[in-house]
Amino acid sequence: MARPRNDIEAGQERLVEIACAMIEERGAHALTMQDLASRAGMSSANLYRYFEGKDALLEAMAEYWFRPKVAVMEAVLASDLPPRRKMYEFFARRFVLIRDAWRADPVAHQTYMELGEEYFEQVRSYVDLADHYLCEIIGEAMAEGFFAGLEVDEALSLVNQMVAPYCALSTMTMAMERLSEDKLARIIDAVFDGLSGVDRGARSVSGLRAA
């Protein structure tokens, strides 16, 4: 759901904000369309003018939650930063947003994480969008000679694994107290200085064995 442009969209935005408040107060499983209608001071029939069902409501809630993260990604992508700095900002700015929300209310943050896991289909498109934008940054880096010997998709997979604590929400939550922008910067430097398709001796040729 984009920013409101008419009365219906304004009503949807208000209902999403009410639904978020209800979840933070009572947990994800306490949210029902009937309770939302009651809290909003409208009939159930009127509520369905705005959302045809709970899935549609959850999709709008996902858009609302991810909106500032998408805005950050798009701002970084549109910048003229070099690829190394761009990749750092791409992860760091979202990390700070999420960390601040976690610090403000860890219980509410965990509730949103559980809701996202339960209704992953409603958030999948945002995960895919982040990967798409990251591929653009990787492509820019490759054009400057980084990640030699790797295809874009392989580099994407490797980068995501290396920075998982800063972008995978469940992993981030578990490690939050040990994460920092400085550590992320070192990881991104390691990505740019070392990631390639060249075998430098770590890969086994005949199975694992003791040194």
CB-based contact 1:9 (threshold 8 Å): yes
Helix (H) or strand (E) holding 61: helix 54-78
Mean pLDDT of the 39-55 span: 93
114-161 tens-digit pLDDT: 787 877 877 888 889 999 999 999 999 999 999 999 999 999 999 999
83-118 tens-digit pLDDT: 999 999 999 999 999 999 899 988 888 888 878 787
Which residue from 52, 61, 182 is spatially nearest to 119, judged by alpha carbons?
61
Mean pLDDT of the 17-27 span: 88
CA dist 112 and 115 (Å) reads: 5
Amino acid 178: pLDDT: 95
Looking at the domain covering 66-194, what would its CATH class be?
A: mainly alpha
CATH of 1-52, one of 1.20.58.340, 3.30.70.100, 1.10.10.60, 3.30.1490.190: 1.10.10.60
Higher pLDDT, 197 or 203: 197
Q: Is the pLDDT of residue 4 over 60?
A: no
Please state the length of the chain: 211
The ranges assigned to domains in the chain are: 1-52, 66-194
Signed CA dihedral, 106, 178, 91, 201: sign only: negative
Mean pLDDT for the chain overall? 90
Q: How confident is residue 206, by pLDDT bands cut at 50, 70 and 90?
A: low
Q: Is the pLDDT of residue 2 over 70?
A: no
Predicted TM-score (pTM) of this structure = 0.85
Highest mean pLDDT among 25-29, 53-57, 168-172: 53-57
Q: How confident is residue 209, by pLDDT bands cut at 50, 70 and 90?
A: low
Domains 1-52 and 66-194 share a fold: no
